[in-house]
Amino acid sequence: MNKIIFRKIAKFGFATIIGLFIASTASSFECKQKRTSMAKPSGFPSRALTMIVPYGPGGGSGQIAAAMAGAVTGHTGVSINRDHKPGGSGTVGMTAYMAAPANGYTVLEHIDDASSAHALDSSRPNPAVDLIPLVISQVTFSQIYIRTNETRYNDWSSYVKWVKAQNGKSTIANVSKEGSMERVTMKFITDGAGLKIQQISFDKGAPRYGALLGGQVDALYEQPGDVRKFLDAGKFKPILTIFGERPSVFADVPTHKEMGMNFEPLLRFRGFYVHADAPPDRVKWLQWAFQRAYCQDSYQKFNESKYMTVIDSYRNTPGAKILIRSTIKQYREVYKSMGLKVK
């Protein structure tokens, strides 16, 4: 098993804490939630749960929400109804969730956007304080993709050369929210490589991927698991990996550091939460249900199919809080270095 240990370093005036990452395989997987069953506290839940998902069903959040809901139902028998509320890069769904009754019957799927939103504006919910993370179940890196049949460029170097010749007219599909992991990283990339690129905003995954597939944009910023079907079909190919070293599954794709961009990668993470005011006995059951669901064969196969075993994706509640707090601190320093007003 390969182990990559990143040390604490300072770049752009902020401290980056990444910790220990482990490339795992299905054969070496060991469930960290050892409890195989748990009695329902006072009969909870006696009906289906609702999962608010702040993004559309076609993107990474929609896919993980479906996979986790299926895994929880599979081992508890409790149904979960998914309620997609896209918009504002997660803010619409977060607002709806915080307005829902804090009785444990409504859970939230969210990504690192919740942490970066709080980092920029402390009046926004803090995922480690206002919410209780049940489990972080995906941690991954990002890449830049082009169409496999693209004739204007075929790798990062030729893409950079082409972009520079366009005088700011080249385009890349990305999410809409300024200050998000994707937008911040693209600023690092364009500054580091000396590029001018128009970022075309999409909140939903399917239109974002369709824009590259249909030629409406020249490139795409995304995580590999979210576009796995396009990679397998030979429609997309990565030309840059934003990570500390080349993952073995993308051994022929250079990293941003190899291409001369000296910044520490910001990672995408996805997880599931419940309101901090939910009854403690219900919280404990939900923690067990979601952490044990991570261990289900169906969920592990899903994560493996999405390249989510390249990095150790599992964080229980204490581990999730450490990840979230360090991420908030990291983003605050990033935003200050970018001249943004941090509230």
**DSSP-assigned states of every residue in 54-119:** SS-TTSHHHHHHHHHHHHHHHHH---EEEEE---GGGHHHHHHHHHS-SSSSEEEEEETHHHHHHH
In this structure, the answer to whether residues 211 and 320 fall within a common structural domain is no
Q: What percent of the chain has pLDDT over 90?
A: 72
Strand bridging mode 106-111 / 268-275:
antiparallel
**Can you give the pLDDT at residue 309?**
86
Is the sign of the CA dihedral 290, 139, 92, 121 positive or negative? positive
In this structure, the answer to whether residues 288 and 185 fall within a common structural domain is no
- Which are the contacts of 274, defined by CB distance < 8 A and separation ≥ 6? 104, 106, 107, 108, 131, 132, 134, 282, 283, 286
In this structure, the answer to whether residues 110 and 192 fall within a common structural domain is no
Residue ending a domain, choose from 250, 282, 315:
250
**Higher-pLDDT residue of 55, 18:** 55
- Asked if residue 3 is part of any domain, the answer here is no
Is the sign of the CA dihedral 147, 151, 155, 156 positive or negative? negative
In this structure, the answer to whether residues 18 and 165 fall within a common structural domain is no
Residue 154 sits in a domain whose CATH number is 3.40.190.10
Question: Do residues 275 and 50 touch, judged by C-beta distance below 8 A?
Answer: no
Give tens-digit pLDDT for 284-317. Answer: 999 999 999 999 999 999 999 888 988 889 999 9
In this structure, the answer to whether residues 231 and 274 fall within a common structural domain is no
In this structure, the answer to whether residues 243 and 149 fall within a common structural domain is yes
Give tens-digit pLDDT for 137-181. Answer: 999 999 999 999 999 999 999 999 999 999 999 999 998 777 788
Residue ending a domain, choose from 216, 250, 284:
250
Tell me which residue range forms the domain holding 239.
142-250
Q: Rounded mean pLDDT of the chain?
A: 89
- Asked if residue 256 is part of any domain, the answer here is no
Short-list 275, 336, 318, CA closest to 33: 318
Cα–Cα dist 333/137, whole Å: 26
pLDDT at 80 over 70: yes
H-helix segments, 295-316: 297-305
Q: Supply 61's token pair.
A: 């959040």
- Asked if residue 342 is part of any domain, the answer here is no
- Asked if residue 261 is part of any domain, the answer here is no
User: How would residue 87 be classed by pLDDT, with cut points 50, 70 and 90?
Assistant: confident
- Asked if residue 333 is part of any domain, the answer here is yes
In this structure, the answer to whether residues 74 and 211 fall within a common structural domain is no
pLDDT at 252 over 80: yes
Could you tell me the CA-to-CA distances from 288 to 33, 74, 123 in Å, in that order?
7, 14, 30
In this structure, the answer to whether residues 133 and 274 fall within a common structural domain is yes
Q: How many domains does the chain have?
A: 2
In this structure, the answer to whether residues 170 and 24 fall within a common structural domain is no
Tell me the residue type at 19.
G
In this structure, the answer to whether residues 222 and 273 fall within a common structural domain is no
- Asked if residue 257 is part of any domain, the answer here is no
In this structure, the answer to whether residues 96 and 177 fall within a common structural domain is no
Residue 106 sits in a domain whose CATH number is 3.40.190.150
- Asked if residue 14 is part of any domain, the answer here is yes
- Asked if residue 5 is part of any domain, the answer here is no
Residue ending a domain, choose from 221, 250, 279:
250
User: How would residue 28 be classed by pLDDT, with cut points 50, 70 and 90?
Assistant: low
Cα–Cα dist 186/196, whole Å: 10
Give tens-digit pLDDT for 180-229. Answer: 888 889 999 999 999 999 999 887 788 999 999 999 999 999 999 889 99
In this structure, the answer to whether residues 134 and 161 fall within a common structural domain is no
**Can you give the pLDDT at residue 311?**
81
